[in-house]
Amino acid sequence: MRVVWSIGNRINLREFKEALLTTPTLIFIYLQGVPGTFPWGGIPYWTPTYFQKQWGLDAATIIVFTAGLGMMVGYFIAGLLTNKLLRKGYVNARLVVPFIGILIGTATTIALLSYPYPYGDSSLKALAPVMVMALLGMTFVTFAAPNVPAVLSEVSLPEHRGTIFGIFNITDNIGSAIGPLLTGALIASLGGMYQGLVATALLWIPCTLLWLPAFRTYRRAREKLRRILTERAKIKT
């Protein structure tokens, strides 16, 4: 089966499979997305209830809103930071920024869940520390978001990218969809909301570890793609 590509190249499904198997960076990026998205699905779903029941906090939505702002800020900061490092010649910037960001974000999220909040106190003085932790936690964890599609684009042929991103969206959505159910199961099996939410946040650790093998393969895959595209450009001219 062949699908025509707009400027003359064709997608051969057998060749696509071979490309996938010979570009392990793609495999690592796919795999990290599964455990990495479980917390994204479970933590936002359960934390409002946690804040209300464990902290006696009716203004839980303020913390969730602050976390949402952190996600927006994280996209922007991660993009700027990665581009700055790339301009300085640091080729692995797209891997280092997510790796460090997810680790810091995980630690900050667990610190937020573990914070000894004064029960029932909705004053700004009581809310300020947890709002800062929510903001920082989601900011850092989001560092992966702008870099994942960039890495996928930098190691895959143009005619393969639609399929590459389609597969990634599947793995990404599996984690997000199952996250609330998985967190609920962890809460029930571990005997408390705190334990279940912390266990869910810790799933960002295997996500982070799955970025490590890409450090050995990403640069080579990136250079290989550039050589292929350069050769194509020479042929067409």
Residue type, 198: V
User: What's the total number of domains in the chain?
Assistant: 1
Q: Is residue 220 part of a domain?
A: yes
> Cα(40)–Cα(45) distance, rounded to whole angstroms?
9
Query: What is the C-alpha separation between 210 and 228, in angstroms, rounded?
Result: 27
- 67 in a domain, yes or no? yes
- Structure token pair of residue 45: 């779903």
| Phi, psi for residue 135 in degrees, rounded to 5 | -65, -50
Q: Is residue 167 part of a domain?
A: yes
Which residues in the chain land under pLDDT 70? 1-16, 19, 236-237
Cβ–Cβ < 8 Å for 26, 20: yes
Question: Considering the domain boundaries, does residue 3 fall inside one?
Answer: no
The predicted pLDDT at position 13 comes to 63
Four-residue CA torsion sign, 194, 196, 199, 203? negative
Report residue 144 CA to chain centroid gap.
Answer: 4
Q: How many Å apart are CA 70 and CA 140, to the nearest integer?
A: 8
Does 97 map to a domain?
Answer: yes
User: What are the tens digits of pLDDT across the range 99-109?
Assistant: 999 999 999 99
pTM greater than the 0.85 cutoff:
yes
Q: Is residue 26 part of a domain?
A: no
**150 in a structural domain:** yes
Q: Give me the pLDDT at residue 12, please.
A: 54
Which pLDDT score is estimated for 225? 87
Domain that holds residue 86: 33-230
Angle at CA of residue 201, ends 197 and 207, nearest 5°: 150
The answer to whether residue 12 sits within a structural domain is no
Q: What pLDDT is attached to residue 10?
A: 53
Q: What is the CATH number of the domain that holds 51?
A: 1.20.1250.20
Q: What is the pLDDT of residue 212?
A: 94
